């Protein structure tokens, strides 16, 4: 029995060491990965959409450039939604997320954010012939689309105390379809999201912007090395003109004037 106990005690440090290795591997920084999986939306024109078997848009191009600048030799892509971004990040299905991912305290408790890489401003989108909605206060009593997993409607209802009738939808692409068909009266979220749909026609943006939405690069919680590297990459991309060129490429003619200056970072935590 003594011999058996001695063997168990002798093996214990090895077991603990193996456990430590597993923990370290599961929290490895994105900067130490040769292949980085980038999570992007598949149905937000201008920002990120999937077409002809590939992904295209500002966030696709920007995220690819960030991944390469932090050391990735290969970049792969996976569709994320507003509802599953945290789950896919923490489940190691994606490594970076650029998906109109507004930085909020609630989200920052679950993931680490780099950036922001740009700041959107919440506005309202209505059908082209709509004249009854000219600003956010006009949404009271109107049918407002609520995309699953988004915080935009909460800013109106809870933040501003306005009471529209919320109509649920799977995504902002679904909201756009409901708006065109007359199922809802308005859609409200970041102007960079809305501008892509507005370019498709049949809808228009109205009213002044009433929030700032800092779009962050999502990473697994605690990857501070990755966050610092991402922030450095974003800074250099603005300094060398890469960010400005991408903003111009994807939003020229959309009625927006994105700021081509380094955003104020929120800090890594």
Run means of pLDDT, 10 residues per run, the chain, 269 residues: 40 34 50 97 95 93 98 97 94 96 95 96 95 96 95 94 97 96 97 91 93 94 97 97 93 74 90
Residue 99 to residues 42, 62, 131, 183, Cα–Cα distance (Å): 9, 11, 31, 26
Cβ–Cβ contacts within 10 Å for residue 255, how many?
12
What pLDDT score does 255 carry?
A: 66
Instruction: Look up the pTM and report it.
Output: 0.82
What pLDDT score does 223 carry?
A: 96
Q: Cβ contacts of residue 250 below 8 Å, gap of 6+?
A: 46, 47, 57, 58, 61
In the chain, the domains with their CATH numbers are 30-120+215-251 (3.40.190.10), 121-206 (3.40.190.10)
What pLDDT score does 252 carry?
A: 78
What pLDDT score does 1 carry?
A: 40
Alpha carbon distance 51, 54 (integer Å): 5
């Amino acid at each position: 029995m003594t011999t058996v106990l001695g063997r168990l005690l002798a093996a214990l440090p090895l077991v603990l060491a193996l456990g430590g290795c597993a923990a370290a591997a599961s929290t490895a920084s994105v900067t130490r990965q040769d292949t980085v999986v980038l999570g992007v939306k598949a149905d937000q024109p201008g920002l990120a959409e999937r077409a002809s078997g590939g992904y295209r848009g500002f966030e696709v191009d920007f995220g690819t450039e960030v991944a390469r600048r932090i050391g990735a030799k290969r970049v792969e892509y996976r569709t994320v939604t507003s509802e599953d971004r945290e789950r896919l990040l923490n489940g190691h299905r994606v490594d970076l997320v650029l998906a109109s991912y507004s930085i909020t305290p609630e989200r920052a408790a679950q993931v680490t954010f780099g950036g922001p890489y740009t700041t959107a401003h919440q506005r309202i989108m209505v059908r082209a012939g709509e004249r009854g909605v000219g600003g956010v206060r006009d949404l009271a009593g109107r049918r407002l689309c609520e995309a699953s997993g988004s915080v935009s409607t909460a800013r109106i209802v809870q933040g501003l105390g306005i009471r529209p009738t919320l109509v649920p939808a799977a995504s902002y692409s679904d909201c756009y379809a409901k708006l065109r068909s007359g199922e809802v009266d308005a859609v409200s979220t970041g102007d960079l999201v809305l501008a892509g749909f507005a370019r498709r026609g049949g809808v228009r943006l109205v009213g002044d912007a009433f929030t700032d939405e800092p779009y962050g690069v999502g990473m697994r919680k605690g990857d501070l090395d990755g966050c610092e590297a991402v922030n450095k990459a974003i800074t250099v991309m603005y300094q060398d003109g890469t960010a400005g060129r991408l903003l111009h490429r994807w939003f020229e003619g959309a009625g927006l004037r994105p700021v081509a200056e380094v955003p104020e970072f929120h800090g890594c935590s």
